[in-house]
């Protein structure tokens, strides 16, 4: 095996995305499991110095800032070509990439370029017969597979929301080394990024999530779910798979194995039964409140507070009581 563990930072709108720091937490656990391998972070952009410095300041790790002309927006082809050239010389043991739309786009191609193993959807680090392997959910969470890379370098895409980012408490800021790349010949060009036409996107980065399940009864009851979410700063509305399948919320709002894995400070499950596919996507939440009129609902098994009430009665009453306290 090579020595280094490499983390590929993700950014958008001129900001490092929080999932990058989750990757750092994952890589630190991986280093503990494999020995004292050094960690390196790589950031790619055309205007990269500020982004790289943010990562170095917030993690204390050394950062390679790959300045790629014309990379104003994410382009999977450019990421693959630029990283493959650099990593071929670095020869790392592991390359850690977020399992986001971006990471899932270029990670397989990067693995092919490097002749590396590619393990997607990593949720746990395990050992088997003294060797490192990685666990991921299959068949909507019904099976947990353990996979061991069989190559010198392994590309890992890591599930967001599972490895909680640690706050950097050290006094040392990491160094930033700028690596200027020549213009890369490409077959595709990114024209821009169009944000989702909804204010409930970005559930992976929300501190509070209010999630709606089939138990809300009808689409019109989403109004009280939104009202509850509006009480909290940095909150988002999410839904179970059935709510998204019915078109009540967009699929970018879906929590679960086939949606987004989240780990907010507070997760409020409203009318959610607690199917294993959903629970696997939110069980990393710091505090879980479940509201359901069915006392045998499985969601109560993972909840910190269980409220056995009709949510159409309880939530308006709760909001009213909150408003009276605030006034």
For residue 198, the model assigns a pLDDT of 46
Residues 6+ apart with CB under 8 A from 37: 3, 4, 5, 30, 31, 93
Residue 298 phi, psi dihedral angles, 5° rounding: -65, -25
Contact by Cβ (8 Å): 153, 94: yes
For residue 199, the model assigns a pLDDT of 46
Q: What is the pLDDT along the chain (327 residues), one digit of tens a residue?
A: 448 999 999 998 889 999 999 999 999 999 999 887 899 999 999 999 999 999 999 999 999 999 998 888 899 999 999 999 999 988 999 999 999 889 999 999 999 999 999 999 999 999 888 889 999 888 766 788 999 999 999 999 998 888 888 776 666 788 999 999 887 777 777 777 776 554 444 788 899 999 999 999 999 999 999 999 999 989 999 999 999 999 999 998 999 988 888 989 999 999 999 998 899 889 889 999 999 999 999 999 999 999 999 999 999 999 999 988 887
For residue 195, the model assigns a pLDDT of 63
For residue 201, the model assigns a pLDDT of 47
Does the domain spanning 203-326 belong to CATH 1.10.1380.10? no
Asked whether the domain spanning 203-326 has the same topology as the one spanning 5-180, the reply is yes
Q: Strand, coil or helix: what is 167? A: coil
Instruction: Report long-range pairs for 255-259 (Cβ below 8 Å, ≥24 apart).
Output: 255/203, 255/209, 255/211, 255/281, 255/282, 256/141, 256/280, 256/281, 256/282, 257/137, 257/140, 257/141, 257/281, 258/140
Q: Among candidates 242, 243, 204, 249, which has minimal Cα distance to 10?
A: 204
Contact by Cβ (8 Å): 268, 228: yes
Name the residue ranges covered by the structural domains of the chain: 5-180, 203-326
For residue 140, the model assigns a pLDDT of 67
Record the pTM: 0.78
Could you report how far apart the first and last alpha carbons of the chain are, in Å? 62
> How open is the CA angle 102-106-109, to the nearest 5 degrees?
165
Q: What is the DSSP letter of 203?
A: G
The crossing angle, in degrees rounded to 10, of helices 101-114 and 76-90 is 50
What is the second-level CATH architecture of the domain 5-180?
3-Layer(aba) Sandwich (3.40)
For 250, the token pair is 């967009």
For residue 158, the model assigns a pLDDT of 95
């Amino acid at each position: 095996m090579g020595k280094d563990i490499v983390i590929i930072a993700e950014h958008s709108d001129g900001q490092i995305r929080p999932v990058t720091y989750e990757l750092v937490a994952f890589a630190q656990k991986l280093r503990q499991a494999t020995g004292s391998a050094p960690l390196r972070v790589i950031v790619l952009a055309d205007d990269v110095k500020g982004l790289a410095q943010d990562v170095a300041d917030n993690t204390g790790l050394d950062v390679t800032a790959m300045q790629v002309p014309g990379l104003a927006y994410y382009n999977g082809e450019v990421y693959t070509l630029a990283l493959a050239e650099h990593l071929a010389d670095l020869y790392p043991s592991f390359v850690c990439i977020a399992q986001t739309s971006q990471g899932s786009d270029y990670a397989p191609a990067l693995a092919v370029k490097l002749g590396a193993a590619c393990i997607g959807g990593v949720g746990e680090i395990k050992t088997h017969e003294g060797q490192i392997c990685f666990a991921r959910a299959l068949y909507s969470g019904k099976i947990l597979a353990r996979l061991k890379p069989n190559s010198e370098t392994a590309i890992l895409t890591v599930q967001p929301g599972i490895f909680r980012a640690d706050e950097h408490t050290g006094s040392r800021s990491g160094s930033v080394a700028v690596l200027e790349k020549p213009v890369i010949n490409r077959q595709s060009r990114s024209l821009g990024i169009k944000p989702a036409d909804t204010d409930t996107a970005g559930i992976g980065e929300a501190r509070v999530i209010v999630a709606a399940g089939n138990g809300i009864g009808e689409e019109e009851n989403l109004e009280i779910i939104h009202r509850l979410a509006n009480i909290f700063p940095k909150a988002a509305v999410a839904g179970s798979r059935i709510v998204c399948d019915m078109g009540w919320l967009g699929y970018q709002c879906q929590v679960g194995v086939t949606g987004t894995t989240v780990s907010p400070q507070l997760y409020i499950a409203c009318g959610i039964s607690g199917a294993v596919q959903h629970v696997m996507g939110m069980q990393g939440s710091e505090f879980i409140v479940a509201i359901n009129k069915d006392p045998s609902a499985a969601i109560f098994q993972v909840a910190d507070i269980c409220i056995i009430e009709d949510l159409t009665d309880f939530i308006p009453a709760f909001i009213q009581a909150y408003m009276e306290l605030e006034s």
